[in-house]
Amino acid sequence: WDFLILFFCLPVVIFNEITKKRLLGDVSCRIVPFMEVSSLGVTTFSLCALGIDRFHAATSPQASARPIEQCQSIIAKLAVIWVGSMLLSVPEILLWQLAQDTSPVSGVVTEFCTMKPSPSLPESIYSLVLTYQNARMWWYFGCYFCLPILFTLSCQLVTRRASSTQQKGECRGAKPSQCESHLNCTIIGLSVVYGLCATPENICNIVVAYLSPDMARQTLDLLSLINQFFLFFKCSVTPVLLLCLCRPLGQAFMDCCCCCCAGCGPDAASSEGSADSKLKTEMSSSIFFDKPRESPPPLLTLGTPC
């Protein structure tokens, strides 16, 4: 989802700031906020799911030999996180619309997105969107800021307490505990980056909610732009941080990149063939030495007593 934000929302925002025209018109005014809020939901619920996973890993009776989770289970969890985040962001599609303003000095028509529900909506949906607009600031602060930070902090505290209690009762190996500590550091790093990038947005939302009648539209647009670029910064830093802190994932990513670069080279086929022949030779030699011989091979008679 971070890559979707960078590849779709970032060019739209930059194009709008340069040309003062909204790329894709009213569609981008609705889709860009929807994807940005969905990104907050995906990050929030992913951090909560990772915290629960670390707690289960720390309290599992067989923590040193836990089975690898099946792909179907991981896909189901990701589907719940993504679909849930997108459903919670649906009001953003109905809340925003495209507006135009003419500069009194230059007479240039500028396009901007305004937070105003369309009067053509049904009355029940219109009232729900208005309720969402009035509670949007506190919903942002409670669900997309306080929930992941407090949830991750509480899960880390409970996990550390459970791990220390379990280590007092039985001696655990150094390798599993080191792997668990790397995963815990990864989750803490992701939470810190998310908290630092989400704090300015929540402060701006609170300021705009209480001081918007006294602020100029240029100031509101500048605050909105700052919030968006903090989101873009979070989306660009999170994958890099994840690859750097999570060593198995980073090593797998580097191996994949090296394999792709090697596959594009001219000697890829010959090197691959030599690697395969070497692997076959090693396998045949290992099979030859590991498998005991049942009987000695028969001697060939060549016409001499020897």
Question: What CATH class does 1-61+68-164+181-257 carry?
Answer: mainly alpha
Q: What integer pLDDT is reported at residue 274 of this predicted model?
A: 47
Q: What integer pLDDT is reported at residue 289 of this predicted model?
A: 36
What is the pLDDT confidence band of residue 64, given thresholds at 50, 70 and 90?
A: low
Q: What integer pLDDT is reported at residue 269 of this predicted model?
A: 44
Q: What integer pLDDT is reported at residue 174 of this predicted model?
A: 45
Residues 216-240 pLDDT 10s: 777 777 888 888 888 888 888 888 8
What is the pLDDT confidence band of residue 246, given thresholds at 50, 70 and 90?
A: confident
Kindly report the average pLDDT of the chain as a whole number.
76
Percentage of the chain modeled with pLDDT above 70: 73
Give the residue, 126 or 170, on which the prediction is more confident.
126
For residues 106-122, average pLDDT: 78
In the chain, where the domains are located = 1-61+68-164+181-257
Which range, of 57-71, 211-225, 237-251, averages the lowest pLDDT? 57-71
For 81, half-sphere exposure in the C-beta direction (CA atoms, 13 angstrom radius) is 19
What is the pLDDT confidence band of residue 85, given thresholds at 50, 70 and 90?
A: very high
CB 209 within 8 A of CB 141: no
What is the pLDDT confidence band of residue 106, given thresholds at 50, 70 and 90?
A: low
For residues 9-16, average pLDDT: 86
